Structure 1
Amino acid sequence: MCEHLLVSLSCYIWVRTQRIVEFNEMEQIKHRIVEVNGIKMHVAEKGEGPVVLFLHGFPELWYSWRHQILSLSSLGYRAVAPDLRGYGDTEAPPSISSYNCFHIVGDLVALIDSLGVQQVFLVAHDWGAIIGWYLCMFRPDKVKAYVCLSVPFWPRNPKVKPVDAMRAIYGDDYYICRFQEPGKAEGELAKNSTEQVIKNVFISRKPGPPILEKEGMGFNPNTSMPLPTWLSQEDLTYYASKFEKTGFTGGLNYYRNFNLNWELTAPWTGAQVKVPVKFITGDLDLVYTSLGTKNYIESGAFKKDVPNLEEVVVQEGVAHFNNQEAAEDVSNHIYDFIKKF
């Protein structure tokens, strides 16, 4: 009994020590506001050397990359992670169309230029990954190599708009379809605390398409689940503190531009992405396990659309937020890939 208590105490002390060390390192991350593409953008950065640009998804922030910022900056890189347009401490234009792919990529090109470099290593997750593919397609000269998490390249289907296709496959309650009407999703989310909403999304581990209940926006019906080891209460509190100020409209507006992006990118129908790419996903990821994504990757179609796709990594037992859940593994994969260039 005493031996068991000593082991438990030792583990607790080790975990607390690690968190104190990480907290001290987090304090060394620099924060600043830069003017890009007509908006003020908040940027977090640490380190010196070649730039690694990190793009977050929904409902996330620069903070989603906290582990990778510390890891890559310790390995001789300058880690840069903005709050994307509409998130956190970055400005949120009121117009829905201000969140289309050209506006967001315009922000990123201006940000890269402001860093005083010609090219960056790009690392992106979720909606950040989608924007990352647009950046690679529109301005491949700005990207040395791309480490993409969760969302592979989605080639444009000239015959059907993406939201129309999703609705035809999964119905009106598929989460992306439910996000389309301005104000409706915000009203549903407001029925719960901001902290509860973020926790609900982050801890969901159900593979397959997220079909929401008729009433409510819960991704995970078991709201009493404890926080996973990779998400502390301090982490959750930080996310909630930012979204309580901004709301979720900025992030939701990205989804409301799916069909507009489809219209705007007609000239790129059939275009390939030719930058070097490494793709990382979890086998429980809701994207990997829906919309035919797994078959698209395994059939070779992904490689056809992205001819310089060098590696696909499928992490066993890992869900959608793999940059946080499997942080060390993801950091190692990023470094192993970009150090070749």
Structure 2
Amino acid sequence: MSTPAPHAPAARDRLTVLDCTLRDGGYYTNWEFDDALVEDYLRVCAHTGIDIVELGYARFDPGGRGPYGRLPAGLTPNLPKVLPDGHGLRFAVMVDASGLAGVPAAETGPRLAELLATGSLPVDLVRVAVHHSRAAGLAAEIASLRAAGFGVGLNLMQIDLATPAEVTALVRTVADLGPLEAVYVADSLGSLHAARIAELVELFRTGQDAPVGIHGHDNQGFALRNTLAAAEAGATWLDATVLGMGRGAGNARTEQLLAALGTAPDTLQPMLDLVARRFEPLRDTHRWGAGALYAIAGMRRVHPTYVQRLEENAERDVETKLRALHHLAGQHATSFTPQALEDALRHACA
């Protein structure tokens, strides 16, 4: 398939920048964040022109996740007080499609609305994360969310693994789901390159009516480049996180994306202050960001959580990590399981 000619990027006022730090960054903190950090973060988002803040995950079965992984638990009464009048921020949550399996489809929207009604911030956008191969099975859940008053976004996970025929069918599936606020190309494995992203954006932009978004991962150091390439190809919803904080190698950096989109230095300054004061110390602790192991995982389409787990043990030597990662690549480990990690480490240490 030939690469489509790039389009001129949309003007900033036609782009939607969605910051998902609390959701994606939660993979490092178990969705626990200091109250003062969240308050500072929301103030800065309101000041710097972020359009939407994704507050975390909403789940019917909260499990052992921290408060921003089981919203509205993290939404303290003080949060609305830190936002200026007329701030214009919208608030979103993400739901994992696998977490909807135990709920009757028709009840998805009403039950989520009831759950989120107790939170201190108004959520009007729900993003549904689903493996690209399972999107067709979500029609009833999406209709229920829409009927409950939510705007609905769809994040198509691991789309880099889809064949051309599967992508073509997926575009038709999305077109049949009814109105969506956005449909996202999600670079779940950090494996995509700019030319492929441009192709995917073009296919979705021309094949269905919803705005197209990009969620990039930085395994190969391409997250910002890929996000801007998506915008040039016609994507108008752009994801980012502060200092790139997110699962595995992390995401496009909000502060860099805003700068690339022409945000004035005086407007951007509070975001950079927040990075220096709050997020660089977090990175020193949790050590997200691109590196050689994540680059290998991205190129070989290995799920990034394997590298994240390998890196958590500071005493594990690099040769063991490399052997384990090579084994995982040979097993086509595109989904994370603890057993597969144990098997890879056993193989590496044999």
Regarding TM over 0.5, the answer is no
TM-score (norm 2): 0.29
User: TM-score normalized by structure 1?
Assistant: 0.30
